[in-house]
């Protein structure tokens, strides 16, 4: 393992400190319990809080700011944060309109946020994101994982919250966006958790992991490496299967890098994916290409499609000012 | 239960976890995200560091404090589950306020029920519950039949091991491995393994104190 | 080599097409000769054109748009573009106030842009960027290479050009920013040029390349891998040596990822670098952390310091709207 | 000079480049950015593809067209340099408009001078000029002394090879390798190698046509 780190146990705090220092105009960092909040506390709105294991940067800390999150709770690398973090963050940012937690659907995140919600002295609701269609949802599983589509949920819900909308309305939008969003990822290499010091999984030079999770969890299957177009075709098909969009749907296409995949390749993927969706009668009217929900140093990428409607479009387009997503101001 | 017993059990558990670094790590790498060992080490270490503070408390208060500490230290799936286990156990010990095996068995069972509630899982879902549920059942049964401590401990260790090994053949339907489908078969569940290790450590501790 | 590509010869065009399609609101792509221009041609301003070998994305295509470039000419991977590209791009974007080329100081780029300038039927000037202080400038070399500091030059010159400033004034600002900027990079792994199919250099698991170039050129020296803090310390010292900033200088600190280094590590580097510069009496008042001048899939990062003055600060802060840098609108 | 000669020389050059893929690639990987082979292959391939178009032109017009094509095809440092070489050579051939060895030597020398001007470099800077300059000098000298074609070709190939090999011991002061300082020592310059290959290919072509 070669990484720009000092002691393995200090990685998280040193990195969070760097983030807070680089973006001191936007965020404030609290250590022990670890959470970050906007530099300027927002008033008269539902407080939007997200969090999860670290290692997916810029998710979630990079989305704190006007039009998106009020606070984020970073856990250890790939490990859900703990309820004391959510409680302290909520205490710091709630503004008498309740707290909405945006939580990626993993047993650990769900349970920790659930316990926080139970202990919270004020009203809360939770949007569970579950856009990863690599996991075929069936009665015997805990359902799909939340992956890069979470960014779209956070953006739209964050925008709505700025308008003063109430807790249930915000939750409803989050649930709607989530239900119209599907993602699937492909890994070319494994990530390496600093504390583990070695790759999470072994993969040969001629292999790819189709449907990989953003923590390096195994996916649908191990396949032979091949041309990008045929890889993208399979991912696009899985997404179409999951969403079954009607013809003439309008959509946002997000090509997300896992951390070690160059933009050159992400745009090449975009090129093919956009063509395939268009051939399927879908109008790609919004796009996002880059590292938005990463898996440490994994080489790989995911494709996310979100079927838009006027409400989602409006909240996607509205101004946002965070470290990782910024437009309109 | 003496608080001093809890303190030394905590150390044995920590040692057992540390001793199984590579095994725990590779189990979670195979069907999870590779952090289970790190999580357990962080949790166990935090408890051992609480030594002085815990020593001043009654057994039930110490167990409750352990639960709270695990809750704010481990994170992940195992954090809230193990925290719920210890806090529920503490509650029963406090209520019953006696030192019988029956009470311990009831407390253990309450802990396991809390894990089931929190995780919304049951037997056969390839989780720590495949160790905890059979051990709780057997513990209650042995306590009801007044089995001696040595027999009880040995039986529980055996059951824990069997439960842990049994997860190997299962498909996971809860937790991170649930997304793997058939690919999870052939791997022991990491949480089941660490629970087996903890039960083992505590039972051996009891057996040693019986000598 | 595992990459999301189809045929090696098609990588560039497919990636450019994806970029143009994802950002069709911002840019237009011309193929053969390859160049990209703003979707809306700007008027009454100096046309700012940059370009260089591909593989450094988002440089330069990602910086086309309001407040920055009018056009970019992408060469083949790591190979300077050719004069016909610059000529066609200049033809498309010039607006009777002349053309300013921003060129990274490499023999190939310099000569190709020079030939274009000679053939150009209208006035032009060139800013050569040369911020890489890994290369000790001495009489017997061609001087320092242009690396990530180029982004700062493009941002500031682009901002000034929007005000209607004339060609020489724009060039003067570019030269000034360049002279106040120094960078140095460290590689942990090599990049792999798609057409070559194998890593440009070999490097062991316990080694780093100090002062590496953004094309994988060897740097100052091969060193033993060590803690991030001591690596950063050496880079910071080299930059201080090169810039010799006076006490109480105000500066912009840019931590640039080479393509495969996670944000978590880049922020950790920022944390240390900001501390070290601050200890040196420098006030870090602006920051940028992310992948801004990459080297394909290289794991590594560079640190860039730009000593600010009021003029540079104003042009750094002014609104910009490009694919990779956006604020204020 | 016949255009047909230029066309077959272009093919020989392309073949010589393709035959030395791994050598050219590794030379530029060692002290450059690894693309020199790809650049030369792209350039040489583009010229061979121009066959039909070139065939219709006079020798000087063909060489000028080759220069322009290389200019818009190769890129990098070698593109404008080789383009300048061929365009300047074409100019002299057109001016002199005869078929003597002296004219060829003068044209070659003019090409080399154009490379020097464009690259602002001279002898001993570890570039293609370490091949081109000595070859140009010798070519002029041999032409002036009326040496026969066979002797001339053999001498030029020898000189090209020596110049190429001599770059190994040099520090680079121009081009990408200039940033390496001492670390460039021990590696042959890729541009010198490809120039030597091209000179070799053309000389062998001449020799073959003499048989
Ligand atoms: N719903 C659940 N009920 C019971 N145990 C669970 C549940 N979900 C996960 N587990 C247990 O947690 C273990 C994983 O713990 P850990 O690796 O620390 O957390 P994470 O999965 O969040 O990375 C699994 O091996 C399993 O035994
Ligand atoms: N200023 C110069 N004068 C003469 N030759 C040069 C000069 N700069 C570079 N070269 C030649 O160009 C070669 C490199 O060509 P190439 O790899 O195609 O371009 P780049 O260096 O831009 O990647 C060097 O090996 C050297 O021979
Ligand atoms: Mg985890
Ligand atoms: Mg885990
Ligand atoms: Mg090159
Ligand atoms: Mg080269």
Chain A residue numbers touching C228 (CB-CB < 8 A): 3-6
Which residue ranges have their beta carbon within 6 Å of ligand 2? C 79-80, 107-108; D 28, 32-33, 35-36, 39, 76-78, 81, 115, 119, 121, 127-129, 174-176, 189-192
Strand A99-104 to A47-54 pairing: parallel
Q: Tokens at residue C277, please?
A: 């510069």
Q: Which of A158-172, C168-182, D167-181 has the lowest mean pLDDT?
A: D167-181
Mark which of C179, C197, C230 sits at the end of a domain.
C179
Q: DSSP assignment of C157-200, as one string?
A: HHHHHHTT--HHHHHHHHHHHHHTEEEEEEESS--B-TTT-SBS
* Residue A82 to residue B71, Cβ atoms within 8 A: yes
Q: What's the CA-to-centroid distance between A78 and ligand 3, angstroms? A: 5
User: Nearest by CB to B178, which of A142, A193, A215?
Assistant: A142
Closest-CA residue, ligand 1 atom 1, reads: B119
Please tell me whether residues A291 and A305 are part of one structural domain.
Answer: yes
How far, in Å, CA of D125 to CA of B189, rounded? 64
Strand C250-257 to C283-290 pairing: parallel
Angle at the Cα of D131 from the Cα atoms of D130 and D134, rounded to 5 degrees: 85
Q: Is the pLDDT of residue D33 over 90?
A: no
Q: Is the pLDDT of residue A137 over 70?
A: no
User: Nearest by CB to A111, which of B33, B119, B179?
Assistant: B119
Mark which of A161, A179, A197 sits at the end of a domain.
A179
Chain D residue numbers touching C77 (CB-CB < 8 A): 35
How far, in Å, CA of A129 to CA of A145, rounded? 7
Mark which of C139, C163, C179 sits at the end of a domain.
C179
**Catalytic annotation, pick one of A60, A94, A215, A315:** A215
C96-109 pLDDT, tens digit each? 999 999 999 999 99
Give the pLDDT mean for C117-141.
Answer: 86
Q: What's the CA-to-centroid distance between B175 and ligand 3, angstroms? A: 10
D39-73 pLDDT, tens digit each? 999 999 999 999 999 999 999 999 999 999 999 99
Residue A3 forms part of a structural domain: no
Ligand 6 ion local residues (Cβ < 5 A): D 28, 32-33, 35-36
Please tell me whether residues A82 and A145 are part of one structural domain.
Answer: yes
Angle at the Cα of A158 from the Cα atoms of A155 and A159, rounded to 5 degrees: 85
- What pLDDT is recorded for position D181? 83
Q: What's the CA-to-centroid distance between C7 and ligand 2, angstroms? A: 27
Alpha helices in B120-210 (DSSP H): 129-144, 149-166, 190-210
Omega before C33 within 30 of 0, i.e. cis? yes
Residue A2 forms part of a structural domain: no
Give the pLDDT mean for A40-46.
Answer: 97
Asked if A196 and A8 touch (Cβ cutoff 8 Å), the reply is no
Say if C77 is an interface residue toward chain D (CB within 8 Å). Answer: yes
Please tell me whether residues A203 and A98 are part of one structural domain.
Answer: no
* Residue A111 to residue B174, Cβ atoms within 8 A: no
Chains C, D: CB contacts within 8 A come to 117
Ligand at shortest distance from the CA of D29: 6
Say if A8 is an interface residue toward chain C (CB within 8 Å). Answer: no
User: What is the Rg, in whole angstroms, of the alpha carbon atoms belonging to chain A?
Assistant: 19
Kindly report the CATH number assigned to the domain that includes residue A268: 3.30.1180.20
The domain total for chain C is 2
Contact exists between C and A (3 or more beta carbon pairs < 8 Å): yes
- Distances from the Cα of A262 to the Cα of A38, A268, A290, B162, C75, angstroms: 30, 10, 9, 48, 17
Q: Which of D112, D122, D128, D130 to mutate to test the pocket of ligand 2 (most atoms within 8 A of CB)?
A: D128
Q: What's the CA-to-centroid distance between A110 and ligand 5, angstroms? A: 50
Asked if A79 and B70 touch (Cβ cutoff 8 Å), the reply is no
C230-273 pLDDT, tens digit each? 999 999 999 999 999 998 999 999 999 999 999 999 999 999 99
> Which among C229, C222, C239, C209 has a CA at the least distance from the CA of C299?
C209
What are the beta bridge partners of residue C267? none
- What pLDDT is recorded for position A230? 98
Omega before C2 within 30 of 0, i.e. cis? no
- What pLDDT is recorded for position B33? 87
* Residue A2 to residue C299, Cβ atoms within 8 A: yes
Strand C71-77 to C221-224 pairing: unpaired
Chain D residue numbers touching C76 (CB-CB < 8 A): 35, 38-39, 42, 75
Maximal C-alpha separation, chain B: 49
Q: How far apart, in Å, do the first and last CA atoms of chain A sit?
A: 40
Please tell me whether residues C110 and C185 are part of one structural domain.
Answer: no
- What pLDDT is recorded for position A141? 60
Residue A265 forms part of a structural domain: yes
Please tell me whether residues C91 and C240 are part of one structural domain.
Answer: no
Say if A290 is an interface residue toward chain B (CB within 8 Å). Answer: no
Alpha helices in chain A (DSSP H): 11-22, 83-93, 107-119, 149-162, 167-179, 228-243, 263-279, 310-317
Work out the mean pLDDT of chain D and round it to a whole number: 95
Element containing residue B103 per DSSP (H, E): helix B101-119
Weakly modelled stretches of chain B, pLDDT under 70: 211
* Residue A78 to residue B34, Cβ atoms within 8 A: yes
Please tell me whether residues C159 and C227 are part of one structural domain.
Answer: no
Active site residue A215: yes
Q: Is the pLDDT of residue D4 over 80?
A: yes
Q: DSSP assignment of D152-205, as one string?
A: HHHHHHHHHHHHHHHGGGPPP-SSGGGGGGGGGTTS--HHHHHHHHHHHHHHHH
User: Nearest by CB to A108, which of B71, B77, B183?
Assistant: B77
Backbone angles phi, psi at A207, to 5 degrees: -125, 160
Asked if C252 and C285 touch (Cβ cutoff 8 Å), the reply is yes
Q: pLDDT grade, residue D209 (50/70/90)?
A: confident
Work out the mean pLDDT of chain A and round it to a whole number: 96
Chains with ≥3 CB–CB distances under 8 Å to B? A
How far, in Å, CA of A316 to CA of A282, rounded? 18
Nearest-Cα residue of chain B relative to residue A88: B72
Please tell me whether residues C144 and C281 are part of one structural domain.
Answer: no
Chain C residue numbers touching D79 (CB-CB < 8 A): 80, 82, 108, 111-112
Please tell me whether residues A234 and A173 are part of one structural domain.
Answer: no
Q: Tokens at residue A175, please?
A: 């649930």
How far, in Å, CA of A6 to CA of B158, rounded? 43
Question: Please, which residues have CB within 8 angstroms of residue D80's CB and are 6 or more apart in sequence?
Answer: C83, C108, C111, C112, C114, C115, D71, D118
Strand C27-30 to A124-129 pairing: unpaired
Backbone angles phi, psi at A283, to 5 degrees: -95, 110
Give the pLDDT mean for D169-196.
Answer: 91
Residue D208, burial from CB neighbour count under 10 angstroms (0-12, 13-18, 19+): exposed
SS3 assignment, position B89: helix
Q: What's the CA-to-centroid distance between C95 and ligand 4, angstroms? A: 59
User: Nearest by CB to B33, which of A132, A136, A216?
Assistant: A216
Q: Which of C75, C104, C107 to mutate to test the pocket of ligand 2 (most atoms within 8 A of CB)?
A: C107
Q: Tokens at residue A165, please?
A: 């909308």
Residue A5 forms part of a structural domain: no
Angle at the Cα of C214 from the Cα atoms of C254 and D41, rounded to 5 degrees: 155
How far, in Å, CA of C13 to CA of C83, rounded? 18
Q: What's the CA-to-centroid distance between B80 and ligand 1, angstroms? A: 10
> Which residue in the block uniquely carries the two structure tokens 């090509």?
A255
Say if A301 is an interface residue toward chain C (CB within 8 Å). Answer: yes
How far, in Å, CA of C274 to CA of C283, rounded? 9
Domain of residue C254, residue span: 181-311
CA A144 distance to own-chain centroid:
14
Please tell me whether residues A93 and A193 are part of one structural domain.
Answer: no
Nearest-Cα residue of chain D relative to residue C87: D72
pTM for the full predicted model: 0.96
Which residue ranges have their beta carbon within 6 Å of ligand 1? A 79-80, 107-108; B 28, 32-33, 35-36, 39, 76-78, 81, 115, 119, 121, 127-129, 174-176, 189-192
Residue C328 forms part of a structural domain: no
Asked if C97 and C74 touch (Cβ cutoff 8 Å), the reply is no
> Which among D48, D36, D120 has a CA at the least distance from the CA of D78?
D36
Q: Tokens at residue D130, please?
A: 């370490």
Give the pLDDT mean for C54-83.
Answer: 98
* Residue A193 to residue B34, Cβ atoms within 8 A: yes
Backbone angles phi, psi at A137, to 5 degrees: -75, 125
Q: What's the CA-to-centroid distance between A225 and ligand 6, angstroms? A: 29
Kindly report the CATH number assigned to the domain that includes residue C49: 3.40.50.10440
* Residue A261 to residue C4, Cβ atoms within 8 A: yes
**Best residue of B34, B170, B178 to probe chain A, by most A CBs closer than 10 Å:** B34
Give the pLDDT mean for C202-214.
Answer: 96
Please tell me whether residues A25 and A111 are part of one structural domain.
Answer: yes
Q: Is the pLDDT of residue D136 over 80?
A: yes
Domain edges within chain B:
3-209
How far, in Å, CA of A60 to CA of A86, rounded? 13
Question: Please, which residues have CB within 8 angstroms of residue B50's CB and are 6 or more apart in sequence?
Answer: B65, B66, B69
- Distances from the Cα of B19 to the Cα of A56, A194, B40, angstroms: 30, 20, 12
Residues counted in chain A: 329
Q: In this prediction, what percent of chain D has a pLDDT beyond 90? A: 89
Please tell me whether residues A81 and A57 are part of one structural domain.
Answer: yes
How far, in Å, CA of C247 to CA of C252, rounded? 15
Q: DSSP assignment of chain D, as one string?
A: --HHHHHHHHHHHHHHHHHTHHHHHHHHHHHS-S-HHHHHHHHHHHHHHTHHHHHTS-HHHHHHHHHHHHHHHT-TTHHHHHHHHHHHHHHHHHHH-S--HHHHHHHHHHHHHHHHHHHT--TTSSSTHHHHHHHHHHHHHHHHTT--HHHHHHHHHHHHHHHHHHGGGPPP-SSGGGGGGGGGTTS--HHHHHHHHHHHHHHHHHHHHH-
Select the more confidently predicted residue: A148 or A141.
A148
CATH T-level topology, domain D3-209: 1.25.40
- What pLDDT is recorded for position B211? 65
Phi-psi region of C141 (alpha: psi -120 to 50; beta: other; left: phi over 0): beta
Chains with ≥3 CB–CB distances under 8 Å to C? A, D
- Distances from the Cα of B50 to the Cα of A290, B91, C194, C274, angstroms: 44, 20, 55, 36
Backbone angles phi, psi at B196, to 5 degrees: -60, -40
């Amino acid at each position: 393992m070669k990484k720009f780190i000092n002691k393995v146990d200090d990685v998280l705090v040193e990195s969070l400190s760097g983030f807070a220092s680089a973006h001191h105009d936007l965020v404030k960092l609290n250590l022990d319990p670890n959470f970050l909040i906007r530099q300027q506390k927002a008033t008269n709105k539902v407080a939007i809080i997200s969090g999860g294991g670290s290692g997916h940067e810029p998710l979630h800390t990079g989305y704190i700011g006007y039009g998106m999150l009020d606070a984020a709770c970073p856990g250890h690398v790939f490990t859900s944060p703990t309820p004391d973090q959510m409680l302290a963050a909520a205490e710091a940012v709630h503004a008498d309109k309740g707290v909405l937690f945006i939580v990626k659907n993993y047993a650990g995140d769900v349970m920790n946020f659930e316990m926080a919600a139970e202990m919270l002295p004020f009203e809360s609701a939770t949007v569970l994101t579950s856009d990863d269609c690599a996991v075929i949802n069936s009665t015997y599983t805990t359902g799909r994982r939340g992956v890069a589509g979470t960014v779209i949920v956070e953006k739209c819900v964050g925008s709505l919250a700025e308008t003063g909308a109430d807790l249930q309305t915000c939750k409803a939008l989050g649930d709607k966006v989530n239900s119209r969003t599907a993602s699937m990822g492909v890994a070319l290499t494994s990530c390496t958790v600093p504390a583990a010091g070695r790759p999470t999984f072994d993969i040969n030079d001629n292999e790819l992991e189709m449907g990989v999770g953003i923590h390096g969890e195994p996916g649908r299957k191990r396949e032979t490496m091949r041309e990008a177009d045929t890889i993208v075709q399979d991912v696009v098909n899985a997404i179409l299967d999951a969403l079954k969009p009607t013809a003439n749907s309008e959509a946002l296409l997000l090509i997300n890098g896992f951390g070690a995949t160059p933009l050159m390749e992400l745009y090449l993927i975009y090129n093919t994916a956009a063509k395939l969706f268009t051939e399927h009668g879908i109008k790609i009217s919004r796009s996002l290409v880059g590292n938005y929900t990463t898996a440490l140093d994994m080489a790989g990428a995911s494709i996310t499609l979100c079927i838009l409607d006027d409400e989602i479009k409006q909240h996607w387009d509205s101004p946002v000012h965070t470290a990782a997503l910024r437009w309109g101001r | 239960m003496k608080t001093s017993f809890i303190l030394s059990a905590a150390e044995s558990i920590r040692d057992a976890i540390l001793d199984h670094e590579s095994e725990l790590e590779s189990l979670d790498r195979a069907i999870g995200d590779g952090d289970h060992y790190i999580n357990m080490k962080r949790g166990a270490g935090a408890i051992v560091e609480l030594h002085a503070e815990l020593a001043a408390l009654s057994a039930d208060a110490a167990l409750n404090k352990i639960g709270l500490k695990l809750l704010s230290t481990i994170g992940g799936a195992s954090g809230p589950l193990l925290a719920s286990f210890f806090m529920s156990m503490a509650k029963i010990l406090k209520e019953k306020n006696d030192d019988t095996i029956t009470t311990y068995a009831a407390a253990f069972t309450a802990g396991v029920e809390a894990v089931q509630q929190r995780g919304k899982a049951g037997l056969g879902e390839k989780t720590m519950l495949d160790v905890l549920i059979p051990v709780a059942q057997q513990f209650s049964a042995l306590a009801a039949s007044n089995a001696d401590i040595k027999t009880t401990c040995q039986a529980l260790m055996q059951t824990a091991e069997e439960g842990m090994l049994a997860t190997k053949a299962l498909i996971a339907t809860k937790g991170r491995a649930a997304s793997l489908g058939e690919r999870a078969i052939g791997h022991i569940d990491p949480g089941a393994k660490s629970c087996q290790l903890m039960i083992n450590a505590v039972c051996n501790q009891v057996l040693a104190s019986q000598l």
